[in-house]
Structures are given as C-alpha cells and as structure tokens.
Amino acid sequence: MTRGNRIFMACIYWAFVLYVFVPLILMILMGFKDSKFIGFPIRSWTLDWYTGVFNDGAVVSAFGYSIAIAVLSTLVSILVGTWIAVLLEGRKFVGRAVIFGLAVMPALVPGIISAIAFRIYARGLGIEPGMGAIIWAHAVHNVPFVVLVVMARLSTLPKSQLEAARDLGADPMVVFLRITLPYLIPAIVGASIFCLLLSFDDFVRSFFLGGYDPTLPVLIFAKLRSGMSPEINAIATVALVVTAAIGIWAERFTRRMNKDSQS
C-alpha cells in the first residue's frame, strides 16, 4: 500500500468512528447541560437531570421492568436454544434441516411483522398483552442466536471426549453435565449477553405486546412525544453505560474461557 492510500484508508476509518460516536458524545454532553434546551453553547453544567431520573418513579420502574424481561426471556432462550443445538449438532436424522430452518427463522422475520403476528395470535389464545407476552416474543426472537452460537461451539467439541467420559463410566446424562455443559459455558455466557442486550434494546415487540407498564425504550418513546428534554439524555446515558459495561465484561470473559479450554 502506498503512503497516499494509507492516509486515505485512515481517513475513511476515522470518518466512520466519528459518524458512530459523535451523536453518542453529544447525547451524553447534553445530559449534563444546565438548561432545558438541547443545543450549544453549554454555559453551565449540572447533575440535576440525573438526580431527576433516579427520583422519577416511572423511569426507575421501567428500567427494572426492562431488566426483568431481559433476564427472564434470556433464561427461556438459553434453555430452548441450547436444547435445540444439542439435539441438532452432530446428528443426522430425517427432518434435521427443517427443524434447523424453523429454529433459525425467527431471527430473519422483520420485528414489525412478527410483533403484529404475535399480537393477533396472543389475542386469539386469550393471552393478555403484558410481561408474559413480551418475554414470549423476545425469547422466540432470541432463540436462533443461541442455537447458532451454541452449535458453533458444540461442533468444536472433540467426540473423543464424550467417548472418553462414557468409557470411564459416565452415563449420557453425566456426560452432558460434566463434559458437554462446561465446554459450552463460554458460548452460553456469550449468547446470554447478546440476548440480554437484544431484549433490553427491543422497542417494536415490547410496544405491540406491552400492557400498561412501559419498558424503558417504550417509556423513552412516550417521553419524546412530549418533547425533547435532557432527562432523556440522562436516561439513555445510564442505559448506555450499563449495556457497554456488560458487553465489555462478557467479551473479556468469553475470551478467557476460550483460552483456558484450549488443549
């Protein structure tokens, strides 16, 4: 690569970084501005918006509601997804491709379509909009990611380890609990974080299937309709910090696990 090319490539890279991060940085900055109006110049700083957020019962409960939904839907996704992955990986049977296709498809259906479909179906079944319906929709949407991540990990587990465990006296259940599952932990942790973030972030499904209590994204949406306020910036910043921290921890954790388990 010539020097000119290198500079050109570097420029494109930094332009991309700015494009991604400038809005985030502006959003964070405005959350500390001592004025109701968003925009420059910032004459004085304040933490009032943050204290306001933490004292706003609606925001705190929406935050808790979102986290509860994220945790529960992730648990369901992990259980179902891991089960499907273990069922499918390394086995050949009639209909395997069909089962795999059906399990992975929800990831490809646009959110708005599946949300409306869920809404109609849930009503038909007499399921009330609310927490259960949201968890259900989030879990269905997230299972494919769990299946793919866990299957990828499972495919690298040497068959001889399963046979060695059988050979040493373990029945299939003990093999699964003591060999397969520990091997899958990095994938399961990684998939869990991904599911948590997807669920926490979801607006469309939560909006269509929600009851009276709003999730955090739905609450932000509702607040936006009554006008932009630095309080929203403060809420978004808190959410950003929490999710980024989880994401970074998960990345480091899975990398360490992968390194440990290499023989």
Give the separation between CA 103 and CA 77, rounded to whole angstroms. 11
Q: 46: which residues sit within 8 A by CB, 6+ positions away?
A: 32, 33, 34
Q: Which of 13, 23, 42, 163 binds other proteins (CB under 8 A)?
A: 163
Rounded least distance, CB 151 to other proteins, Å: 19
Closest to other proteins by CB, 57 vs 260, is: 260
Q: Provide the 3-class DSSP secondary structure of residue 45.
A: strand
Q: Which of 29, 170, 228, 246 binds other proteins (CB under 8 A)?
A: 170
Give the separation between CA 158 and CA 169, rounded to whole angstroms. 18
Stretch that binds other proteins, among 6-14, 41-49, 146-154, 156-164 (CB under 8 A): 156-164
Chain length of the chain: 263
Rounded least distance, CB 261 to other proteins, Å: 5
Rounded least distance, CB 255 to other proteins, Å: 15
33: which strand partners? Answer: 45
When asked if residue 93 is in the footprint of other proteins (CB under 8 A), the reply is no
CB 140 within 8 A of CB 106: yes
Rounded least distance, CB 20 to other proteins, Å: 37
Q: 139: which residues sit within 8 A by CB, 6+ positions away?
A: 73, 76, 77, 80
Tokens (6 digits) for 226:
């009554």
Give the separation between CA 133 and CA 128, rounded to whole angstroms. 7
Tokens (6 digits) for 191:
């998939």
When asked if residue 177 is in the footprint of other proteins (CB under 8 A), the reply is no
Site size with other proteins, rule: CB under 8 A: 21
DSSP secondary-structure letter at 93?
-
When asked if residue 37 is in the footprint of other proteins (CB under 8 A), the reply is no
Rounded least distance, CB 253 to other proteins, Å: 15
Q: Which of 5, 171, 225, 227 binds other proteins (CB under 8 A)?
A: 171
Closest to other proteins by CB, 27 vs 170, is: 170
Q: Provide the 3-class DSSP secondary structure of residue 190.
A: helix
Other CB atoms within a 10 A radius of the CB of residue 102 amount to: 12
Closest to other proteins by CB, 161 vs 243, is: 161
Q: Which of 50, 118, 136, 183 binds other proteins (CB under 8 A)?
A: 183
Site residues (CB under 8 A) for other proteins? Answer: 158, 160-161, 163-171, 174, 178-179, 182-183, 260-263
